Structure 1
Amino acid sequence: MTDNNLNEVNKDNIRYVMITPENLQNSDADNDEIDFRKLWNVIWSGKWIIIGVTAIFTIASIFYALSLPNIYKSEALLAPANSEQQGGLGALASQFGGLASLAGVNLGGAKADKTDMAIEILKSREFFSQFVDRHNILPDLMAVKEWDRINNSVIYDTEIYLPKSDEWVRQVKPPRQIKPSMQEAIETFKNLLNLAKDKETSMVNISIQHYSPYIAKQWVDWLIRDINLNMKSRDKQEAEKSIAYLQSQIEKTTITEHKTLLYQLIEEQTKTLMFAEVRDEYVFKTIDSALVPELKAKPKRALIVVLGVLLGGMVAVMIVLIRYFASNKTTNGDR
């Protein structure tokens, strides 16, 4: 076959197309439009599946939201108690800090440090153990199921605790115990307790969440009272030991200046004892007392239902798309 004949065949049987960037862009746009239309058609064809699945999720989320018991939050605002006795100690600190430290007497007057220490004590295992034993809060902490508003009483989960016989009956695997340990209880308590200190004002916000608004308020009051008693007891013991030591040193020394200093230190420690005796709000003063909350803090039932609807819609669309692509794959495989 000659070159002329070959050229004639090529011209007759082959269609030459010039590819330009504009052609490619238009082609991609057409494909995107077609894909979007297909996707919409697939979703629209499965609208009853989407409606059905979304309805199931919506109903389930409504029942779930309604099944959750209300949780109430009671809170109080505290301020560090003024420590007038610190003024006299501070005046002595610059002159006799060395001797006072030997006596175990703190002349620093660090009010902020005492507040921070009180907050850390509130979070400690030792304080919590004493709090549980003093007020017998373990059943209300670990076994309450809901609160009966009409009778103002808590309802216990009888699979965990029997209130009439004061018996723990829950089924747990080791290392958990039938009666909750302090380690387990304090982890639960920490989820209910919130302590927040404002760095600028040193104000402390303390709050408790519970199924019963009355218990939440009661626990806040108990915590404030107990931490004041705890800090008061610590300072009293320290002051009494310091006074005993200082008195023993007075008997040993014959230097008049030393005796004068020791008597001044005893005077300041005596002031500490006096303040501890007369003050109920020793480390924290209540600015805004805890109240019995009328409105729940959670759950946010409307939000739960909205999230349920959105989740149901997404799952339904995924089901429709998966069914479509699976059927296409099967059809193409058969071909």
Structure 2
Amino acid sequence: MTEKNLVTPFQSGALTLAATRDDEIDLAELFHALWRGRWWIISSGVLCTVLAVAIALWLPNVYHAEAKLSPSAEQQGGGLSALAGQFGGLASLAGINLGGGGTDKVGLAIEVAKSRKFVTTFIRQHRLEVPLMAVTKMDKQSGELVVDPEIYDTAQGKWVREVKPPKTVAPSDWELYKAFMELFSIEQDKKSGMVTVGVDYFSPDVAKQWVDWLVADLNATMKQRDQADTERNIAYLKTQLEKTAVADMQAVFYKLIEEQTKTLMLAEVNPEYVFKTLDPAVVPEEKAKPKRALMVVLGGILGGMLGIMLVLARHALRRQKEPVL
């Protein structure tokens, strides 16, 4: 072995100490590095805070309107549910299904409210295409909605937005559905059974109006569905009644027809078929978002953290370039 390859104990110990020095974290040294780079940290925090303020002021106010609903008596054991419990066996003998008392009509109504068919019908019926897709904010002075002229030409009443295929100039049902679902919410409290319908929008008056329309249209839709089912049941029962000559079966058919007719009449006179409004929607006086103060605070915190990371990264690079003694 030559002298060039010999490593003395002193040299070996020095190398070990150098490696140990590289692996150790000196808190005093880190604090000193942070202190030397304090202006970087302050500048980063101020810059991000200013940016957060600018974004917070640029974002338009959004208001939240909601209504509290309770399942109507028709869905809590009355109406079709009671009929099914009382005459379900007779109806099954006749070959029809009245639905069971265990049917979750409220849960079904919530899923209907979230369905593409109901939402797109609601949007088209109330002509909400422009408010959904072209409005960017509300004018604070006049209270009027501001339409983006690059999306919709209000003078000519036509869509002028530029989109790439397969999208069309006029928004499709799929686009309208996605846009609406970002503003709409419907939830049921599992303990109390109460249902909350809410809408977020730039205008408090519009948000309140949409909630009212949603509750009314949802009740009407569910009522029409059940009315159609009941009318089919009555028509079927009358057909079967004409075919049978057995007195006992005729009595069954007459009773079922009578109860179905009562149910149909009750549905026609009850506008709040599935949900009764406990707490109607009101025009909100305070915005729901953006949370501007929170945005500014978070911007300052994130800016400070970014500054600390930059200072520590510069310190680590400088430390690696220092020669090992």
- Give me the TM-score of the superposition, normalised by structure 1: 0.84
C-alpha distance in 1 between matches for 2:164 and 2:265: 52
Task: Please show how residues 79-118 of structure 1 align to structure 2 within 5 Å.
Answer: 79-83=70-74, 84-86=78-80, 87-93=82-88, 95-100=89-94, 102-103=95-96, 105-110=97-102, 113-118=104-109
Matched, 1:213 2:204: yes
Mapped partners of 2:46, 2:243: distance in 1: 88
Q: CA deviation at 1:325?
A: 3.3
CA deviation string 1:164-211 (max 9, x = no partner): 322222222222222221112212211211111122322111111111
Match of 2:104, SS state, is helix
| Residues 91 and 256, structure 2, Cα contact 8 Å, conserved in 1 | no
What amino acid is the match of 2:40? Answer: I
The match for 1:133 is: 124
- Mark the runs of 5 or more structure 2 residues left unpaired by the alignment: 1-8, 11-16
Choose which of 219, 226, 229 in structure 2 pairs with 1:235. 226
Give the letter for the 1:247 counterpart.
K
Which residues of 2 match residues 6-155 of structure 1 at below 5 A?
35-83=26-74, 84-86=78-80, 87-93=82-88, 95-100=89-94, 102-103=95-96, 105-110=97-102, 113-155=104-146
For residues 185 and 228 of structure 1, the distance between their equivalents in structure 2, rounded to whole angstroms, comes to 22
SS at match of 1:170: coil
The amino acid of 2:188's aligned partner reads K
**Does 2:169 match 1:178?**
yes
Please say which structure displays the higher CA radius of gyration. Answer: 1
Q: Hey, what does 2:296 align to over in structure 1?
A: 305
C-alpha distance in 1 between matches for 2:192 and 2:304: 48
Letter in 2 for 1:114: K
Q: Please state how far the C-alpha of 1:89 moved relative to its aligned partner.
A: 4.0
Q: List 4+ stretches of structure 1 deviating above 6 A.
A: none
Matches of 1:248 and 1:329, distance apart in 2:
93
- Letter of the aligned partner of 2:35 in structure 1? W
For residues 37 and 89 of structure 1, the distance between their equivalents in structure 2, rounded to whole angstroms, comes to 79
Q: Deviations over 1:312-332 (max 9, x none)?
A: 111112222333333444454
**2:134/2:152 contact within 8 Å kept:** yes
Q: 1:268 is paired with a residue of what secondary structure?
A: helix
Tell me the alpha carbon deviations over residues 78-102 of structure 1, each in whole angstroms, 9 at most, x when there is no partner: 1111123333442112x414224x2
Q: CA–CA distance in 1 between the matches of 2:319 and 2:84?
A: 86
Single out whichever of 68-77 and 236-245 deviates more from structure 2: 236-245
C-alpha distance 166-332 of structure 1, shift in aligned 2 (>3 A) = farther
**Residues 266-317 of structure 1: CA deviation (Å, up to 9, x unaligned):** 1111012101211110111111101111111111111111111111111112
2-structure distance, mates of 1:316, 1:71 = 33
Residues 105-135 of structure 1 show CA distances to partners (whole Å, capped at 9, x for unaligned) of 415244x511111111111111112111110
CA RMSD in angstroms, aligned pairs only: 2.3
Partner-residue secondary structure (3-state), 1:320: helix
DSSP 3-state at the match of 2:66: strand
Equivalences, count: 303
Q: Is the 8 A contact 1:228 1:283 kept in 2?
A: yes
Identity %: 43
> In structure 1, the residue corresponding to 2:67 is in which secondary structure?
strand
SS of the residue 1:164 aligns to = coil
Q: What TM-score comes out, normalization by structure 2 length?
A: 0.86
Q: How many angstroms apart in 1 are the aligned matches of 2:308 and 2:79? A: 71
